[in-house]
Structure 1
Protein backbone atom coordinates (compact mmCIF):
# COMPACT_ATOMS: atom_id res chain seq x y z
CA UNK A 1 0.00 0.00 0.00
CA UNK A 2 1.12 3.53 -0.66
CA UNK A 3 1.36 6.10 2.10
CA UNK A 4 0.64 9.71 1.07
CA UNK A 5 4.33 10.58 1.41
CA UNK A 6 5.56 7.43 -0.34
CA UNK A 7 6.42 7.67 -4.06
CA UNK A 8 3.81 6.13 -6.34
CA UNK A 9 3.97 5.15 -9.98
CA UNK A 10 3.72 8.31 -11.99
CA UNK A 11 3.50 9.44 -15.60
CA UNK A 12 1.17 8.88 -18.54
CA UNK A 13 1.07 9.09 -22.32
CA UNK A 14 -0.27 12.20 -24.04
CA UNK A 15 -1.04 12.87 -27.68
CA UNK A 16 0.00 16.19 -29.18
CA UNK A 17 -2.09 18.26 -31.58
CA UNK A 18 -0.05 16.65 -34.38
CA UNK A 19 -1.06 13.17 -33.14
CA UNK A 20 2.41 12.42 -31.81
CA UNK A 21 2.52 10.47 -28.54
CA UNK A 22 4.85 11.52 -25.75
CA UNK A 23 5.37 10.58 -22.11
CA UNK A 24 4.77 13.14 -19.39
CA UNK A 25 5.83 12.31 -15.86
CA UNK A 26 4.37 14.95 -13.58
CA UNK A 27 6.43 13.60 -10.68
CA UNK A 28 3.39 12.93 -8.48
CA UNK A 29 0.34 10.71 -8.72
CA UNK A 30 -1.94 13.53 -7.63
CA UNK A 31 -0.67 15.75 -10.49
CA UNK A 32 -1.09 12.87 -12.93
CA UNK A 33 -4.69 12.81 -11.74
CA UNK A 34 -5.07 16.54 -12.42
CA UNK A 35 -3.85 15.87 -15.96
CA UNK A 36 -6.68 13.45 -16.69
CA UNK A 37 -8.46 16.58 -17.89
CA UNK A 38 -8.60 19.53 -15.52
CA UNK A 39 -5.11 20.83 -16.31
CA UNK A 40 -4.96 19.78 -19.93
CA UNK A 41 -4.72 22.53 -22.52
CA UNK A 42 -5.92 20.05 -25.13
CA UNK A 43 -9.63 19.05 -24.80
CA UNK A 44 -8.69 15.60 -26.09
CA UNK A 45 -6.73 14.99 -22.89
CA UNK A 46 -9.98 14.51 -20.96
CA UNK A 47 -9.93 10.89 -19.77
CA UNK A 48 -12.73 10.71 -17.23
CA UNK A 49 -15.81 10.50 -19.42
CA UNK A 50 -17.49 7.73 -17.43
CA UNK A 51 -17.24 5.85 -14.12
CA UNK A 52 -15.45 3.09 -16.03
CA UNK A 53 -12.75 5.53 -17.13
CA UNK A 54 -12.12 6.56 -13.53
CA UNK A 55 -12.08 2.92 -12.43
CA UNK A 56 -9.48 2.08 -15.08
CA UNK A 57 -7.29 5.03 -14.12
CA UNK A 58 -7.42 4.18 -10.41
CA UNK A 59 -6.64 0.53 -11.09
CA UNK A 60 -3.47 1.67 -12.81
CA UNK A 61 -2.38 3.66 -9.74
CA UNK A 62 -3.72 1.64 -6.81
CA UNK A 63 -2.78 -2.04 -6.96
CA UNK A 64 -5.78 -3.26 -4.99
CA UNK A 65 -8.48 -0.93 -6.33
CA UNK A 66 -11.86 -2.65 -6.22
CA UNK A 67 -12.94 -1.13 -9.55
CA UNK A 68 -16.34 -0.02 -8.21
CA UNK A 69 -17.06 3.56 -9.30
CA UNK A 70 -20.46 5.28 -9.27
CA UNK A 71 -21.61 8.45 -11.03
CA UNK A 72 -21.34 10.20 -7.64
CA UNK A 73 -17.74 9.01 -7.33
CA UNK A 74 -17.02 10.43 -10.79
CA UNK A 75 -18.50 13.80 -9.81
CA UNK A 76 -16.46 13.82 -6.60
CA UNK A 77 -13.31 12.88 -8.49
CA UNK A 78 -13.76 15.71 -10.98
CA UNK A 79 -14.23 18.17 -8.12
CA UNK A 80 -11.06 17.01 -6.40
CA UNK A 81 -9.22 17.05 -9.72
CA UNK A 82 -10.24 20.66 -10.35
CA UNK A 83 -9.02 21.70 -6.89
CA UNK A 84 -5.66 19.98 -7.37
CA UNK A 85 -5.25 21.56 -10.81
CA UNK A 86 -6.17 25.03 -9.55
CA UNK A 87 -3.72 24.99 -6.66
CA UNK A 88 -0.88 23.42 -8.64
CA UNK A 89 -1.28 26.04 -11.37
CA UNK A 90 -1.23 28.86 -8.82
CA UNK A 91 1.83 27.54 -6.96
CA UNK A 92 3.77 26.92 -10.18
CA UNK A 93 3.83 30.67 -10.85
CA UNK A 94 4.25 31.66 -7.18
CA UNK A 95 0.59 32.58 -6.89
CA UNK A 96 -1.78 32.10 -3.95
CA UNK A 97 -4.15 29.13 -3.95
CA UNK A 98 -7.90 29.75 -4.00
CA UNK A 99 -9.11 29.19 -0.39
CA UNK A 100 -12.25 27.41 -1.65
CA UNK A 101 -10.10 24.91 -3.56
CA UNK A 102 -7.94 24.44 -0.47
CA UNK A 103 -11.12 23.59 1.43
CA UNK A 104 -12.06 20.98 -1.19
CA UNK A 105 -8.72 19.22 -0.81
CA UNK A 106 -8.90 19.40 2.97
CA UNK A 107 -12.40 17.89 2.97
CA UNK A 108 -11.27 14.93 0.87
CA UNK A 109 -8.11 14.53 2.95
CA UNK A 110 -10.21 14.33 6.12
CA UNK A 111 -11.98 11.16 4.96
CA UNK A 112 -10.63 7.63 5.29
CA UNK A 113 -7.66 7.00 3.01
CA UNK A 114 -5.76 3.86 2.06
CA UNK A 115 -4.12 2.78 5.32
CA UNK A 116 -0.41 1.94 5.14
CA UNK A 117 0.42 -1.69 5.77
CA UNK A 118 3.75 -3.30 6.54
CA UNK A 119 4.41 -6.36 4.38
CA UNK A 120 5.48 -9.68 5.87
CA UNK A 121 2.80 -10.28 8.49
CA UNK A 122 0.57 -13.33 8.65
CA UNK A 123 -2.72 -11.53 9.27
CA UNK A 124 -4.62 -9.05 7.09
CA UNK A 125 -6.21 -6.29 9.10
CA UNK A 126 -9.16 -4.44 7.59
CA UNK A 127 -10.14 -4.40 3.92
CA UNK A 128 -7.76 -5.80 1.35
CA UNK A 129 -9.25 -3.78 -1.50
CA UNK A 130 -9.15 -0.03 -2.09
CA UNK A 131 -12.48 1.76 -2.50
CA UNK A 132 -12.77 4.80 -4.78
CA UNK A 133 -13.36 7.15 -1.85
CA UNK A 134 -10.19 5.90 -0.16
CA UNK A 135 -8.18 6.45 -3.35
CA UNK A 136 -9.47 10.02 -3.68
CA UNK A 137 -8.68 10.71 -0.03
CA UNK A 138 -5.16 9.34 -0.47
CA UNK A 139 -4.56 11.62 -3.45
CA UNK A 140 -5.93 14.58 -1.48
CA UNK A 141 -3.47 13.81 1.32
CA UNK A 142 -0.68 13.61 -1.23
CA UNK A 143 -1.78 17.06 -2.43
CA UNK A 144 -1.63 18.37 1.16
CA UNK A 145 1.95 17.12 1.36
CA UNK A 146 2.99 18.46 -2.08
CA UNK A 147 1.35 21.84 -1.67
CA UNK A 148 2.51 22.37 1.92
CA UNK A 149 5.26 24.83 2.81
CA UNK A 150 7.99 22.20 2.85
CA UNK A 151 7.41 21.10 -0.76
CA UNK A 152 5.39 23.68 -2.70
CA UNK A 153 8.47 25.36 -4.21
CA UNK A 154 9.03 22.13 -6.14
CA UNK A 155 5.75 22.65 -8.00
CA UNK A 156 6.96 24.16 -11.27
CA UNK A 157 5.80 25.16 -14.70
CA UNK A 158 7.80 23.93 -17.69
CA UNK A 159 10.49 26.47 -18.62
CA UNK A 160 9.59 26.44 -22.32
CA UNK A 161 7.92 29.67 -23.45
CA UNK A 162 5.22 27.77 -25.34
CA UNK A 163 4.41 25.20 -22.64
CA UNK A 164 2.47 25.59 -19.41
CA UNK A 165 2.60 22.01 -18.10
CA UNK A 166 3.09 21.78 -14.34
CA UNK A 167 5.14 19.15 -12.53
CA UNK A 168 6.58 18.27 -9.15
CA UNK A 169 10.37 18.34 -9.20
CA UNK A 170 11.31 15.20 -7.31
CA UNK A 171 14.97 15.33 -8.36
CA UNK A 172 17.61 15.39 -5.63
CA UNK A 173 19.26 18.40 -7.21
CA UNK A 174 15.91 20.23 -7.39
CA UNK A 175 16.72 21.57 -10.86
CA UNK A 176 14.19 20.03 -13.24
CA UNK A 177 13.18 22.58 -15.89
CA UNK A 178 11.19 20.74 -18.54
CA UNK A 179 7.91 18.85 -18.65
CA UNK A 180 9.76 16.22 -20.67
CA UNK A 181 13.31 16.01 -21.99
CA UNK A 182 11.90 14.25 -25.08
CA UNK A 183 9.57 17.18 -25.74
CA UNK A 184 10.46 20.66 -24.47
CA UNK A 185 13.93 19.78 -23.21
CA UNK A 186 14.94 18.43 -26.61
CA UNK A 187 13.48 21.43 -28.43
CA UNK A 188 15.47 23.74 -26.14
CA UNK A 189 18.66 21.83 -26.92
CA UNK A 190 18.00 22.10 -30.65
CA UNK A 191 17.37 25.86 -30.38
CA UNK A 192 20.52 26.32 -28.32
CA UNK A 193 22.58 24.32 -30.81
CA UNK A 194 21.25 26.38 -33.73
CA UNK A 195 21.95 29.63 -31.88
CA UNK A 196 25.57 28.58 -31.22
CA UNK A 197 26.07 27.63 -34.84
CA UNK A 198 24.57 30.92 -36.00
CA UNK A 199 26.88 32.84 -33.65
CA UNK A 200 29.88 31.17 -35.22
Structure 2
Protein backbone atom coordinates (compact mmCIF):
# COMPACT_ATOMS: atom_id res chain seq x y z
CA UNK A 1 0.00 0.00 0.00
CA UNK A 2 1.43 3.36 -0.96
CA UNK A 3 1.64 6.33 1.36
CA UNK A 4 -1.25 7.85 -0.58
CA UNK A 5 -3.70 5.13 0.39
CA UNK A 6 -5.45 2.20 -1.21
CA UNK A 7 -6.63 2.41 -4.81
CA UNK A 8 -10.39 1.77 -5.02
CA UNK A 9 -12.91 1.62 -7.87
CA UNK A 10 -16.22 3.45 -7.54
CA UNK A 11 -19.62 2.31 -8.89
CA UNK A 12 -19.08 4.23 -12.14
CA UNK A 13 -15.65 2.68 -12.66
CA UNK A 14 -13.73 5.70 -11.44
CA UNK A 15 -10.41 4.98 -9.67
CA UNK A 16 -9.40 6.94 -6.58
CA UNK A 17 -7.11 6.79 -3.57
CA UNK A 18 -8.59 6.22 -0.13
CA UNK A 19 -6.55 6.52 3.06
CA UNK A 20 -8.44 4.76 5.88
CA UNK A 21 -5.86 5.77 8.49
CA UNK A 22 -5.68 2.33 10.11
CA UNK A 23 -5.52 -1.37 9.33
CA UNK A 24 -8.76 -2.24 11.15
CA UNK A 25 -10.57 0.46 9.14
CA UNK A 26 -8.90 -0.66 5.93
CA UNK A 27 -10.54 -4.07 6.39
CA UNK A 28 -13.92 -2.40 5.84
CA UNK A 29 -13.21 -1.85 2.14
CA UNK A 30 -13.22 -5.64 1.57
CA UNK A 31 -17.00 -5.96 2.02
CA UNK A 32 -19.39 -6.12 4.93
CA UNK A 33 -22.96 -6.73 6.01
CA UNK A 34 -26.14 -5.62 4.27
CA UNK A 35 -25.58 -3.32 1.32
CA UNK A 36 -21.81 -3.78 1.62
CA UNK A 37 -22.09 -7.42 0.52
CA UNK A 38 -21.96 -6.34 -3.12
CA UNK A 39 -18.38 -5.16 -2.49
CA UNK A 40 -17.25 -8.48 -0.98
CA UNK A 41 -13.81 -9.56 -2.22
CA UNK A 42 -12.78 -12.05 0.47
CA UNK A 43 -14.31 -15.27 -0.85
CA UNK A 44 -11.40 -17.57 -0.05
CA UNK A 45 -8.33 -17.54 2.23
CA UNK A 46 -6.21 -16.91 -0.88
CA UNK A 47 -8.25 -13.76 -1.57
CA UNK A 48 -7.36 -12.43 1.87
CA UNK A 49 -3.70 -13.35 1.45
CA UNK A 50 -3.55 -11.48 -1.87
CA UNK A 51 -5.29 -8.44 -0.37
CA UNK A 52 -2.95 -8.32 2.63
CA UNK A 53 0.11 -7.97 0.38
CA UNK A 54 -0.99 -4.38 -0.38
CA UNK A 55 -2.38 -3.61 3.09
CA UNK A 56 -1.26 -1.34 5.90
CA UNK A 57 0.04 -4.46 7.64
CA UNK A 58 2.45 -4.94 4.73
CA UNK A 59 3.43 -1.27 4.99
CA UNK A 60 4.82 -1.98 8.47
CA UNK A 61 6.92 -4.87 7.13
CA UNK A 62 6.76 -6.49 3.67
CA UNK A 63 4.40 -9.41 3.08
CA UNK A 64 4.07 -11.82 0.17
CA UNK A 65 1.06 -14.09 -0.35
CA UNK A 66 3.28 -17.07 0.46
CA UNK A 67 3.99 -15.58 3.91
CA UNK A 68 0.37 -16.15 4.96
CA UNK A 69 -1.32 -19.37 6.09
CA UNK A 70 -5.00 -18.58 6.52
CA UNK A 71 -7.52 -21.31 7.27
CA UNK A 72 -11.16 -21.12 6.14
CA UNK A 73 -12.41 -20.73 9.74
CA UNK A 74 -9.92 -17.93 10.32
CA UNK A 75 -11.24 -16.14 7.24
CA UNK A 76 -14.76 -16.58 8.63
CA UNK A 77 -13.67 -15.00 11.95
CA UNK A 78 -11.94 -12.09 10.21
CA UNK A 79 -15.04 -11.36 8.14
CA UNK A 80 -17.23 -11.57 11.26
CA UNK A 81 -14.91 -9.09 12.96
CA UNK A 82 -14.94 -6.81 9.90
CA UNK A 83 -18.74 -6.83 9.70
CA UNK A 84 -19.00 -5.83 13.36
CA UNK A 85 -16.40 -3.08 12.88
CA UNK A 86 -18.68 -1.30 10.42
CA UNK A 87 -21.02 -0.60 13.33
CA UNK A 88 -18.18 0.24 15.72
CA UNK A 89 -16.62 2.69 13.26
CA UNK A 90 -19.94 4.43 12.59
CA UNK A 91 -20.67 4.62 16.31
CA UNK A 92 -17.33 6.35 16.87
CA UNK A 93 -17.86 8.66 13.88
CA UNK A 94 -21.16 9.84 15.35
CA UNK A 95 -20.00 10.14 18.95
CA UNK A 96 -21.65 6.97 20.21
CA UNK A 97 -20.06 4.39 22.47
CA UNK A 98 -19.72 0.98 20.76
CA UNK A 99 -22.02 -1.71 22.16
CA UNK A 100 -20.58 -4.24 24.65
CA UNK A 101 -20.99 -7.16 22.25
CA UNK A 102 -18.80 -5.50 19.64
CA UNK A 103 -16.19 -4.61 22.24
CA UNK A 104 -16.16 -8.23 23.42
CA UNK A 105 -15.52 -9.36 19.84
CA UNK A 106 -12.57 -6.97 19.63
CA UNK A 107 -11.19 -8.22 22.95
CA UNK A 108 -11.51 -11.86 21.86
CA UNK A 109 -9.76 -11.13 18.58
CA UNK A 110 -6.75 -9.52 20.25
CA UNK A 111 -5.40 -12.80 21.63
CA UNK A 112 -2.51 -13.08 19.15
CA UNK A 113 -0.69 -10.75 16.79
CA UNK A 114 2.10 -10.89 14.19
CA UNK A 115 5.60 -11.14 15.61
CA UNK A 116 8.04 -8.57 14.23
CA UNK A 117 11.71 -9.33 13.79
CA UNK A 118 14.85 -7.76 12.34
CA UNK A 119 16.03 -9.33 9.11
CA UNK A 120 19.68 -10.27 9.79
CA UNK A 121 20.60 -9.85 6.13
CA UNK A 122 19.22 -6.33 5.68
CA UNK A 123 18.65 -4.95 9.17
CA UNK A 124 15.10 -4.08 8.09
CA UNK A 125 11.88 -4.82 9.93
CA UNK A 126 10.20 -8.07 8.91
CA UNK A 127 7.56 -10.51 10.14
CA UNK A 128 8.03 -13.96 11.59
CA UNK A 129 6.29 -15.98 8.92
CA UNK A 130 4.07 -17.67 8.09
CA UNK A 131 1.39 -15.38 9.54
CA UNK A 132 -1.87 -17.04 10.51
CA UNK A 133 -5.37 -15.65 10.19
CA UNK A 134 -5.49 -15.48 14.00
CA UNK A 135 -2.49 -13.14 13.95
CA UNK A 136 -3.99 -10.99 11.20
CA UNK A 137 -7.17 -10.66 13.24
CA UNK A 138 -5.09 -9.87 16.31
CA UNK A 139 -3.30 -7.04 14.52
CA UNK A 140 -6.62 -5.44 13.56
CA UNK A 141 -8.19 -5.98 16.99
CA UNK A 142 -5.24 -4.58 18.92
CA UNK A 143 -5.17 -1.52 16.69
CA UNK A 144 -8.90 -1.02 17.28
CA UNK A 145 -8.35 -1.23 21.04
CA UNK A 146 -5.59 1.37 20.88
CA UNK A 147 -7.79 3.73 18.89
CA UNK A 148 -11.03 3.28 20.83
CA UNK A 149 -9.33 3.80 24.20
CA UNK A 150 -7.21 6.76 23.08
CA UNK A 151 -7.74 10.38 22.02
CA UNK A 152 -7.91 9.44 18.32
CA UNK A 153 -11.38 7.90 18.90
CA UNK A 154 -12.88 11.35 18.32
CA UNK A 155 -11.23 11.54 14.89
CA UNK A 156 -13.08 8.67 13.26
CA UNK A 157 -15.19 10.12 10.44
CA UNK A 158 -17.78 8.94 7.95
CA UNK A 159 -17.49 10.50 4.49
CA UNK A 160 -19.73 13.56 4.29
CA UNK A 161 -21.07 12.62 0.85
CA UNK A 162 -24.67 11.39 1.24
CA UNK A 163 -24.12 8.43 -1.10
CA UNK A 164 -20.77 7.32 0.38
CA UNK A 165 -20.35 5.40 3.61
CA UNK A 166 -16.59 4.93 3.82
CA UNK A 167 -15.19 5.45 7.31
CA UNK A 168 -11.69 6.72 8.05
CA UNK A 169 -9.41 8.08 10.74
CA UNK A 170 -8.83 11.79 10.22
CA UNK A 171 -5.07 12.16 10.58
CA UNK A 172 -4.96 15.70 9.20
CA UNK A 173 -3.35 18.24 11.52
CA UNK A 174 -6.43 20.49 11.80
CA UNK A 175 -8.77 17.50 12.10
CA UNK A 176 -11.17 18.77 9.43
CA UNK A 177 -11.11 16.02 6.80
CA UNK A 178 -14.65 15.48 5.49
CA UNK A 179 -14.28 13.26 2.44
CA UNK A 180 -13.13 9.71 1.86
CA UNK A 181 -11.09 11.10 -1.02
CA UNK A 182 -10.73 14.53 -2.58
CA UNK A 183 -10.34 12.71 -5.92
CA UNK A 184 -13.86 11.33 -5.64
CA UNK A 185 -16.35 12.70 -3.13
CA UNK A 186 -14.50 15.94 -2.45
CA UNK A 187 -14.24 16.71 -6.16
CA UNK A 188 -17.88 15.76 -6.78
CA UNK A 189 -18.91 18.19 -4.03
CA UNK A 190 -16.83 20.96 -5.58
CA UNK A 191 -18.41 20.35 -8.99
CA UNK A 192 -21.90 20.34 -7.45
CA UNK A 193 -21.23 23.60 -5.58
CA UNK A 194 -19.84 25.22 -8.75
CA UNK A 195 -22.89 24.22 -10.79
CA UNK A 196 -25.22 25.48 -8.07
CA UNK A 197 -23.49 28.87 -8.09
CA UNK A 198 -23.71 29.03 -11.88
CA UNK A 199 -27.43 28.27 -11.83
CA UNK A 200 -28.04 30.79 -9.03
CA UNK A 201 -26.11 33.48 -10.91
TM-score, normalising length: structure 1: 0.81
Which runs of no fewer than 5 residues in structure 2 stay unpaired?
none
Distance 1:57 1:157, change over 3 A: same
Indicate if the aligned counterparts of 1:10 and 1:29 stay in contact, CA closer than 8 A.
no
Which runs of no fewer than 5 residues in structure 1 stay unpaired?
1-7
Query: How big is the shift at 1:188?
Result: 1.1
Q: Deviations over 1:18-60 (max 9, x none)?
A: 2333332212221111221116845332111001111112233
* Residue in 2 that maps onto 1:189: 190
| 1:173 aligned onto 2:174 | yes
* Residue in 1 that maps onto 2:131: 131
Q: CA RMSD in A?
A: 2.9
* Residue in 1 that maps onto 2:82: 81
* Residue in 2 that maps onto 1:3: none
Distance 1:53 1:40, change over 3 A: farther
| 1:31 aligned onto 2:5 | no
Question: Which is helix-richer, 1 or 2?
Answer: 2
Indicate if the aligned counterparts of 1:146 and 1:152 stay in contact, CA closer than 8 A.
yes
Residues 1-200 of structure 1 aligned to structure 2 (within 5 Å): 11-38=5-32, 41-61=35-55, 62=58, 63-64=62-63, 66-109=67-110, 111-117=111-117, 128-132=128-132, 133-200=134-201
SS for the counterpart of 2:151 is coil
Question: Which is strand-richer, 1 or 2?
Answer: 2
TM-score, normalising length: structure 2: 0.81
- More displaced 10-residue stretch of structure 1: 19-28 or 9-18: 9-18
